[in-house]
Amino acid sequence: MSSSSFPISITVLGSGTSQGVPMIGCDCPVCRSTDPRDKRTRCSVYITTPEAALLIDTPPELRLQSLRAGLNRVDAVLITHAHADHIMGFDDLRRYCDLKNGAMPVYGSKETLDRIAGIFPYAFDPTKRVPGYVFVDVHAVDSTFPLGGLQITPFSLPHGRFLSTGYLLQRDGEKVFAYMNDCKDVPTPVRDAIRDVNCLMIDGLRDEPHPTHLNVSEAIAISRDVRAKHTYLTHLTHHKSHVQRESELPNGIQVAYDSLSFKL
C-alpha cells in the first residue's frame, strides 16, 4: 500500500478490546497462544508524516507500547473518546512534553476533552505547567483542521450512550486513512465523506452482535459500502485467533495486530 506521493506511516500500537488479550484469568486457546499477533494491548495508532508524529488515543499500556515501538516523538494527540481503555495512559504524555519542552496539543470533541480534564485536571491547568510533567494545549474540534501536513476531519460515531470520534486524514485532496474505532455504526453522511478512502481501520469486535460495537460482518458491510481500497479490523476480542479470523475474511480486509506497520 506504499505510495511515494503520500509518505505517511501507520503503526498499530494496540489492537485489542477493553480488557486486552490475553484476558486476566482466561485459559482459552487464544489467551494461551504463542503467536505474538494474539497479544493485543488496548487500541492506539501512531501516524507519521514528513511534518509531524501523531498519536490516536492514550491507552493504559501507552508507555509499554512506546518503548516497544521505539517512539521518541509525539507532536500532537487525537482522542476518540474518554473510556478508560482509550485514555488511562494520558499521564504518560509527560515524557513527550519533556522531550518537546512544551505543551502537548490534544484534539477531540469538547465533551471528550472535558471528561479527560475531570480525570487529569493538573494536565489542563495552565498555572501548573511544571517541566517534566504532562501539560496540554486543548483543541476542541468539530470540523476539518490542519495538522502535520494533513487535513483531519472528525466525525461523531454512535457508541452506546456515548459518541466516539472517528477521524479522516487527507493529504492534497486524497482520502488517505480513516480511523473508525469504538462504534456501533458509521452514519450515512460519514460513509459518504470517507468513500473511496485508501485505508480504513474499523471496529470489528467479534462475530456475535454487540450493543455498542460493530461485529465483523457489520464492519465488512461498511467497508464494502464505502469502497475502501483496504481495510483493517481492530478492537478485537479473544474469541478467535489472528490466523483464524484472517482466514475467514474476504480479499482486501485484514486483521490489525499490535506492531503492524505500513505506509500509505
Q: Sketch the domain layout of the chain as residue ranges.
A: 9-263
pLDDT over 60 (residue 4): no
Alpha-carbon distance of 80 to 246, in angstroms, equals 26
- Distances 102 to 57, 94, 244, 256 between C-alpha atoms, Å: 19, 10, 45, 33
3-class SS shares of the chain: helix, strand, coil, % to 5: 25, 30, 45
Global pTM value: 0.96
Instruction: Read off the pLDDT of residues 58-117 as tens digits, 9 standing for 90 and up.
Output: 999 999 999 999 999 999 999 999 999 999 999 999 999 999 999 999 999 999 999 999
Alpha-carbon distance of 242 to 37, in angstroms, equals 6
pLDDT over 60 (residue 1): no
Percent with pLDDT over 90 in the chain: 95
Q: What integer is the mean pLDDT of 179-187? A: 98
Q: What integer is the mean pLDDT of 242-255? A: 98
Instruction: Read off the pLDDT of residues 149-161 as tens digits, 9 standing for 90 and up.
Output: 999 999 999 999 9
Task: Pull the grid cell for residue 241.
Answer: 485467533
| pLDDT score of 6 | 61
More confident residue, 129 or 63: 63
Structure confidence at residue 230 as a pLDDT band (50, 70, 90) = very high
Instruction: Read off the pLDDT of residues 9-51 as tens digits, 9 standing for 90 and up.
Output: 999 999 999 999 999 999 999 999 999 999 999 999 999 999 9
Q: DSSP readout, 196-232?
A: T-SEEEEE---SS--SSS--HHHHHHHHHHHT-SEEE
Is omega for the bond preceding 50 within 30 degrees of 0, making it cis?
no
Alpha-carbon distance of 194 to 129, in angstroms, equals 38
- Distances 222 to 10, 204, 225 between C-alpha atoms, Å: 21, 11, 5
Are 75 and 100 in contact by the 8 Å Cβ rule? The answer is yes
Average confidence score pLDDT of the chain:
96
**Angle, CA of 114, 115 and 116, to the nearest 5°:** 90
Beta partners for 169? 152, 177
Task: Pull the grid cell for residue 11.
Answer: 503503526
Q: What integer is the mean pLDDT of 215-228? A: 98
pLDDT over 90 (residue 198): yes
pLDDT over 50 (residue 3): no
- Distances 185 to 114, 118, 119 between C-alpha atoms, Å: 24, 28, 28
Helices 93-100 & 62-69, crossing angle to 10 degrees? 50
| pLDDT score of 131 | 85
| pLDDT score of 5 | 57
Instruction: Read off the pLDDT of residues 136-148 as tens digits, 9 standing for 90 and up.
Output: 999 999 999 999 9
pLDDT over 70 (residue 194): yes
Structure confidence at residue 120 as a pLDDT band (50, 70, 90) = very high
Q: Where are the beta strands (DSSP E) in the chain?
A: 9-14, 44-48, 53-56, 76-78, 104-108, 136-140, 145-147, 150-159, 162-171, 174-180, 199-203, 230-234, 253-255, 261-263
Q: Which CATH number fits domain 9-263: 3.40.50.10190, 3.50.50.60, 3.60.15.10, 3.30.56.10?
A: 3.60.15.10
| pLDDT score of 227 | 98
| pLDDT score of 130 | 86
Structure confidence at residue 2 as a pLDDT band (50, 70, 90) = very low
